[in-house]
Chains A and B, each alone.
Chain A
Amino acid sequence: MKKRAKWFGGVFFLIAVAFLLLQVGSLIVQSHYQAEYIDNGLFYIFNIIIVISLGLSLLSILSLKKMGNVILVTIASLIIIANSYLMYQSNQDIKNITSISPDTKQIFSLKKNTNTGEATYYRSYYRILGRPKEALPSPIDKEGDLMWLADDIAVFTYRDKQQQMQQFVGTYGDRKDSSSYSYVGAQIYGQWEDENTAITVNQEGITINRQLFEWDQTQQYGTLAIVLSDNAEAKWTIALGDDFFFDENNAEPPTGEIILYEATTKDTEAISLQYEGNAYSMIQ
Chain B
Amino acid sequence: MVQKVLIVLSCMIGLAIIMSMFYYQRREPIPLPSAIVEQNQPDEENATTEKAPLVPINVEDRIGYSLQNDDLQITYDDGNTWTLVPIEKDKLFEGEYQGNKTELIDNSFILTENDTAFLYSEGVVKVIHSQNQGETWDETVVSDRVPSIRFRKVVFLDDQFWYVIFSADRTMSSEVSFIYITTNQGESWQSINIPDTTRLIADGGFVDAKTGFMSYGTINPQEPSLYVTNDQGETWEQAVFDMPSKYDRVFVIARAPFKEEDHLALIMDQGPNGDYYRDGLIRAKFISTDNGHTWEFSEEVEPENEEEG
> What is the CB-to-nearest-CB distance from B145 to chain A, in angstroms, rounded to a whole number?
11
Quick one: which of A35, A82, A186, A249 has the most chain B CB within 10 A?
A249
Known: A134-B34, A135-B32, A179-B273. A54 touches B220 (CB 8 A): no
Report yes or no: A51 in contact with B32, Cβ–Cβ below 8 A. Answer: no
A75-B169 in contact given A27-B20, A249-B220, A249-B222 (Cβ < 8 Å): no
Q: Is B47 an interface residue (CB 8 A)?
A: no
Q: Is B1 part of the binding interface, using a Cβ–Cβ cutoff of 8 Å? A: no
Query: Does B3 make an interface contact (CB < 8 A)?
Result: yes
Residues of B within 8 A of A54 (CB): 10, 13-14
B221 at the interface (CB under 8 A from A): yes
Decide if B32 touches A132 in the complex (CB within 8 Å). yes
Per the bound structure, the CA–CA distance linking A36 and B173 in Å amounts to 39
Q: Quick check: A248 and B173 within 8 Å, CB to CB? A: yes
Cβ of A62: which chain B residues have Cβ within 8 Å of it? 3, 6-7
CB distance from A216 to the nearest CB of B (A): 11
The answer to whether A183 touches B30 (Cβ under 8 A) is no
Give complex CA distance A283, B147 in Å. Answer: 13
Please indicate the chain A residues that have their CB under 8 angstroms from the CB of B14 in the complex. 51, 54, 75, 79
User: B30: which of A83, A86, A132 is its contact (CB, 8 Å)?
Assistant: A132
Q: Does B33 contact A (CB under 8 A)?
A: yes
User: Which residues on the A side are within 8 Å of B2 (C-beta)?
Assistant: 61
Question: Within 8 Å CB of B34, what residues of A?
Answer: 134-135
Chain A residues within an 8 Å CB radius of B169: 283
For chain A, residues 73 to 112, give those with C-beta under 8 angstroms from any C-beta of chain B.
75, 79, 82-83, 86
Q: Mark B27-64, 1 if CB is under 8 A from A, else 0.
A: 10011111000000000000000000000000000000
Residue of B3, B16, B27, B32 near A134 (CB, 8 A) is B32
A235 interface hit (Cβ, 8 Å): no
Within 8 A of A (CB), among B72-114: none
A16 to B6, CA, bound (A): 12
Is the Cβ of B33 less than 8 Å from the Cβ of A183?
no
Are A16 and B219 in touch, CB under 8 angstroms?
no
A161 touches B (CB below 8 Å): no
Residue from B10, B27, B222 in contact with A58 in the complex, judged by beta carbons closer than 8 Å = B10
When the two chains form the complex, which single residue of B13, B30, B174, B176 contacts A50, counting CB atoms closer than 8 Å?
B13
Query: Shortest CB–CB separation between residue A147 and chain B, in angstroms?
Result: 25
Q: How many Å lie between the Cα of A34 and that of B273 in the bound state?
A: 30
Chain B residue nearest to A120 (CB atoms) is B32
Q: Which residues of B contact A249 (CB under 8 A)?
A: 220-223
Q: Which residue of B lies closest to A202 (CB)?
A: B171
B32 and A180 contacting across the interface, CB-CB below 8 Å: no
Residue A172 at the chain B interface, CB threshold 8 Å: no
Residues on the A chain within 8 Å of B198, using CB: 282-283
Contact for A20 among B6, B16, B219, B275, CB less than 8 A = B16
| Shortest beta-carbon distance from B220 to chain A in Å | 5
Contact B13 A20 (CB under 8 A): yes
Q: Is there contact, CB below 8 Å, between B33 and A132? A: yes
List, in ascending order, chain B residues with CB within 8 A of A86's CB. Answer: 21, 25
Instruction: Decide: A186 and B10 in contact? CB cutoff 8 A.
Output: no
Partner of B16, one of A24, A43, A57, A61: A24
Is residue B146 contacting chain A, with contact meaning CB distance below 8 A?
A: no
A175 at the interface (CB under 8 A from B): no
Give the residues in chain B near A180, CB-CB below 8 Å: 219-220, 272-273
| Interface pair B30/A182, CB less than 8 Å apart | no
- Convert A1-41 into 0s and 1s, putting 1 for each residue whose CB lies closer than 8 angstroms to a CB of B: 00000000000010011001001100100000011100000
A144 CB-CB contact with B under 8 Å? no
CB closest chain-A residue, reference B217: A249
A87 → B minimal CB distance (Å): 11
Contacts of B219 in A (CB 8 A): 180, 182-183, 186, 248
Contact of B24 among A43, A75, A79, A248 (CB under 8 A): A43
Residues from chain B with a CB closer than 8 A to the CB of A183 are 172-173, 219
| Interface pair B176/A283, CB less than 8 Å apart | yes
A131–B96 Cα distance when bound, in Å, is 33
Asked if residues B21 and A215 are in contact (CB atoms below 8 Å), the reply is no
Q: In the complex, what residues of A have CB within 8 A of residue B7's CB? A: 58, 62
Partner of A34, one of B23, B25, B30: B30
By a beta-carbon cutoff of 8 Å, the part of chain B in contact with chain A is 2-3, 6-7, 10, 13-14, 16-18, 20-21, 23-25, 27, 30-34, 169, 171-174, 176, 198, 219-223, 272-273, 275
A selection of 25 A-B contacts at a CB cut-off of 8 Å is A13-B6, A20-B13, A23-B20, A27-B20, A34-B30, A47-B17, A50-B17, A54-B10, A54-B14, A57-B6, A61-B6, A120-B32, A132-B32, A134-B32, A178-B220, A180-B219, A180-B273, A182-B219, A183-B172, A183-B173, A183-B219, A203-B174, A248-B219, A283-B176, A283-B198
Given contacts A27-B23, A248-B219, 19 further A-B contacts (CB under 8 A): A17-B13, A34-B30, A35-B30, A36-B30, A43-B24, A47-B20, A54-B14, A58-B10, A61-B3, A62-B3, A180-B272, A183-B172, A183-B219, A186-B171, A186-B172, A186-B174, A215-B172, A282-B198, A283-B169
The 7 A-B pairs of least Cβ separation, nearest first, read A186-B172, A180-B273, A186-B173, A183-B172, A249-B222, A185-B172, A178-B273
